[in-house]
Structure formats: C-alpha cells, structure tokens
Chains A and B, each alone.
Chain A
Amino acid sequence: MESLSAKQVEIISADVQMAKITFTHLADDLIDHICCEVETEMSSGKSFQDAYEKVRQLFGIRELQKIQENTRYLIDKNYKNMKKMMKVSGTISLIMLGLATVFKIFHWPGAGPGFVFGFFILSMFFFPSAIYINFRDSHQKKNGLLHLTALIGGIAFMVGVLFKIMHWPGAGVMLVVGTGALLLLFMPILLFVSLKKAKTSKDKMLYSMGVFALIIFEMSFLFKMMHWPGSSVLILFGSILLFTVFLPMYTYKNFKENGRITGQYIFLVTTSMFAIIFTFLLSINVSKNVLENFIRQDYITMEVVKHLEVRNEKVYTEYEKMSDSIHLQCDSSVAVLKKNTQDLYDFINELKIQLVQATDKTDKKTAEEMIVNTSRIIAKDNYEVVHKIMLGDANNGKATMLKEKIEQYKTSVLALTVSNPRIKFLIEKSLNTEDYVTPEFKQTWEEYRFSGTVLIASLPVFSDMEMNVKQLEYEVLHSIICKSNNL
C-alpha cells in the first residue's frame, strides 16, 4: 500500500478546507477517507496527480458540503426544524405572493390579504430560518453580527415594502430603518468580512468596489423612496459602477478561478437582476418631459379659469345694475346658480389641495401655493396617494363623492334652464360623468379618471372641471337673464 507524503496530504486537506467543513471531526474523517481512496488508486500504479484527479471527480466541494448538511440534519434537531420551516414557509409565501400578484392584475378581490399573508410568512418565517441555516452552515462565530444585521435590516425592509404596497402608514420609517441597517451595519461588516477573506490585493479592491457600488445603489433607492434630492445622481453613479465595472470584473475573476460558469454564479446574477428590476420599479422615474406637459396643460387651463372668473364677475356686476323687474324675476335663480357653482368649484379645488398635501406631506398653505404653480410639487409621479384618496379600497373614495356633487349640480342648474336645449346639451357634454365603455373595455367614470393617474396628471383633470363649471355658470347666467328680458 502506498502512503501519501505530508505535502500530498497538505494538498488534499487544503481542498477540503475550501468546503468549509467545520462540524466536529468531520473534516478529519473526510480528509482521511479521500487520502485512502487516493492511496488505493496509486497502488495500481497511478501518479498522485492522476489518482487525485480521479478521486476528486467523486468528491467535489458540493458533495463534501452536502455530507456536512446531511450530518447536521441528522443530528441537530434545531437545524432540522429550521430547514423544514425554511422549505415550507418559502414555498407557501411564494405561492401566496404569486397568486396575490395574479389577483391584483385581474382586479379580483383578495389580492391585499394575499400580499399581507405572503409577506408576513416571507419576512417572519422564511427569512429568519434561511439566515439561521446560512449561519449554521458557515459556522463562523465572528460572522454572527453579519447575520444579525442582515436579519434585522432584511425584516424591516420587507415589512416596509409590504406597508408601501398596502399604503399603510409607517412604510417610510420601516424602509428607512431597514435600508439604514443594511447600509450602515450590514454592508460595512460584509466588506470587513470579505476583505479578511480576500487573498490578493486585487480581490480586496474588487470586494470593496462591489460593496461600495451596492451602498450607493441602495442609497439611491432610499433617497428616491423618501423623495430626498440627489437620488438620480446616486442611481446613475451606483448602477454604472455596479454594471459596467464590478459585474464584468467579478465575472472575469469567477471564470478565471473556476474555468467555467458555476450554478452559483448564474443564481447570483439572476437574483441580483430581479432585485435591481424590483428596485427600479419601486423607484421608477416618469420622464421629465411627460411631467412638463401636464404642468403646462394645467397652467393654461388655470389661466382660462382666471379669465372666465373675471368675465363672470363682470356679468354679475352688469346684472346688479339691471331693472328691479328683472331682479324680481331672476334673483332667486341667480343666487342658486352662484352658490351652487361656487360650492362645486370649491369642492374640486379642495380635492386638489388635499391630494398635494397628502403626497408632498406639506401644510395646507404650501399646498394652496403649489396647486397654482404645479412645477413646485415634489412627488409629481405619485399615483398611489391619488388612487387611495380618489378611489379608496373598493371605489369608496372621493371620486364617487365628486361624481355625486357634479350630478347634483347638473340637476340643480338644469332646473334653472329647462327650456333651453342648447344649454341642456352643454351641461351633459361638459360635465359628463358616464362610465367609460367600449365593446371590449369597461371602466367606471371614477376609475377612468383616476386609476393609475399620477398626481401631476390628475391636477389638469380637476382644472378642466373647474373651467367647465365656470363656463357653464356663464352660459346659464346668460340664459336666465335673457329669458327674463325676453331677448
């Protein structure tokens, strides 16, 4: 029987070390076993290289790790239970979230509870057990802090995302805490650990750059979510660093070391792609040009409204000067018209202020200034708040109230000018609240107007209503006066 030299044993044990076998004397078991196999091969006349090459085919790093996992699984009850929990909760939450997404797309009821339940299981069961398993598998005591910060930051972040999706209060705080923990604690510790592990200075640079790029990328996400200034610069810088510098270098290094693309690498790239797409979706930036158009449109409409207001005031002043007989005939109608018009106008304007207040979280006075100069609004592309306020959870939002107000106004105005078919037509046309129906598509008026509309695009919708109300006021006023004058 051949026996291996100290140097040859050294080579084998270095390879087994790579698999990070830390379970009691398992590493000794495996090294001795592999050595015995190699010795048996060598006794049939092979060189050490050839013999070891052959044996290595059977005992890859993955297989060695698998043995450690199986051993731990067999012995450690905690480990076993955690692993089971990880599998079960991972599957359940994935199914729940998948179904909830489909339900959401089709506007079926139940998407909300599905998201809540799925996220709850994901963040409270799957994530902690996965971290535990990872911790036990790596089994390095000094990495405890790394796993702990990942656990806290990850849970806070996931709960924050859930709150954000459900439009619950506190999402911002949760996201800041989560991202903050990941940014300020997890990332630096990760960097520290990777730097310690890195063998060459090239590796060190690569790791630092990767963590640095990640920090910038995460920061841009946080800034965007919180509407802090500077997010676009960060996202540009972060993604350039991540995709054009770090990723190619990492791929190169990985390829050079392994000589082939490993499954782990494919997994890493795929998951990071998903994470990045998700980040982009959450913090997506509507093109500035599109937003500019809405600002301009609103500005022009509001200019017309101002003009109409002045004109209507003139007509009212003219009316004041008219003879008593006319006043006797028309005063009540004119008063009703003026009051109802002002009420509806105020209601619409109030909605604008409420929306801006809710999205930009400002006081009422600032919001009032902002709706005059809409370019000052910060959360221009926010559609969640618009949706929540106008449509509510089940079409019970302000839009339905608005529709009712408009209908009341139409009825009351119509009563003042029954005989005039032209005005009747105008009223129906300019304050249309019919549902939007085409042969293949049906939406209620509320959804048609406000579903998925970003804040800056919803303001011209209101301004347009204000304009039409003012124009109607003029037409109706005119017809009342003319009728009594028999003109």
Chain B
Amino acid sequence: MASNDLLKGTLKPIILKLLSEKGRMYGYEITQSVKLISEGKIELTFGALYPILHKLEQDGVVRTEAEVINNRNRIYYVLTEKGNGTAREKIAELEEFVNTIKLLLKPQLGMDYGIA
C-alpha cells in the first residue's frame, strides 16, 4: 500500500483522470475505482476524497448532478468545460513527474554521468 506522504499531491490528478475517462462518477464509485485499478495498493479514503471534490467544485473544475437512487440522493461529479483543460494539465503534470521520478530511481544512474 502506498504511503500517505507519497499520495498527497497525486490524489487530485487521479480523481481528474478518472472523471475525464468515465464522464460522471459519484464518491463511492471513485474510491472503488481507485482501489480496483491500483489492485488495492492505493486506498482513497472518503475522508480524503470529499474535501478534494468539494474544493474542485468550488474552483469550478467539476460540477454536480443530483439524482435519487435507491431512496437517497446521489451526487454525481462531472468535469466542467474549464475542468477538461485543468484535468489534461494536471494529468500531464503528474505523468511528467512520475517519469522524472523513474529516471531518478533508475539503477546506476550516477555511473552514466560519472558522479558516483
């Protein structure tokens, strides 16, 4: 399981990525998707999820659609026009970051540059 420290900055792009692929999702669905796709290695707790979703809504990146399902209100989150752009940006940013980290963690990295 990935540690919280590592996850901290990546949750927002992960959520945006999921939303941009699936169109609209509700909170529980997002946590389950993350769990499923990461094969249980990343657990997005609902305590971490909802503050981020509300923040995204506040910033105009996502909007909500309420629907009554199984006797209760279900809030779906959808990327806005502006959100599509933000999502692309954030995802690209994370990808780049991950690639950089990969570079850094490559074995014998130092040797190639004659440092070591």
- The residues of A with any CB-CB pair to B shorter than 8 Å are 3-6, 9, 13, 23-26, 28-33, 35-37, 39, 59, 63, 66-67, 70-71, 73-75
Are B50 and A9 in contact, with the CB atoms below 8 A?
Answer: no
Contacts A25-B64, A28-B66 given; indicate if A36 touches B52 (C-beta within 8 A).
no
Contacts A4-B71, A9-B70, A67-B47 given; indicate if A32 touches B54 (C-beta within 8 A).
no
Are A4 and B55 in contact, with the CB atoms below 8 A?
Answer: no
Are A4 and B54 in contact, with the CB atoms below 8 A?
Answer: no
Are B27 and A31 in contact, with the CB atoms below 8 A?
Answer: no
B42 an interface residue at 8 Å Cβ cutoff? Answer: no
A-B pairs with beta carbons under 8 Å apart, 28 shown: A4-B70, A4-B71, A9-B72, A13-B72, A25-B64, A25-B66, A25-B73, A25-B75, A26-B54, A28-B73, A29-B27, A29-B53, A31-B73, A32-B26, A32-B72, A33-B27, A35-B72, A37-B28, A59-B46, A63-B47, A66-B47, A67-B50, A71-B50, A71-B51, A71-B55, A73-B51, A74-B55, A75-B58
List 9 extra interface pairs beyond A28-B75, A31-B72, CB under 8 A.
Answer: A4-B72, A9-B70, A9-B71, A23-B54, A28-B66, A28-B74, A35-B72, A66-B47, A67-B50
Distance in Å: Cβ of A127 to nearest Cβ of chain B = 27
Which residue of chain B has its CB nearest to the CB of A73? B51
- Which label, helix, strand, loop or mixed, suits the secondary structure of the A interface? helix
Which residue of chain B has its CB nearest to the CB of A36? B28
Are A67 and B51 in contact, with the CB atoms below 8 A?
Answer: yes
Which residue of chain A has its CB nearest to the CB of B52? A74
Residues of chain B with a CB closer than 8 A to A37's CB: 28
Distance in Å: Cβ of A311 to nearest Cβ of chain B = 89
Distance in Å: Cβ of A436 to nearest Cβ of chain B = 63
Distance in Å: Cβ of A200 to nearest Cβ of chain B = 29
Residues of chain B with a CB closer than 8 A to A4's CB: 70-72
Pick the most buried of B28, B58, B66: most chain A CB atoms within 10 A of its CB: B28
Residues of chain B with a CB closer than 8 A to A35's CB: 70, 72
Pick the most buried of B27, B53, B64, B75: most chain A CB atoms within 10 A of its CB: B75
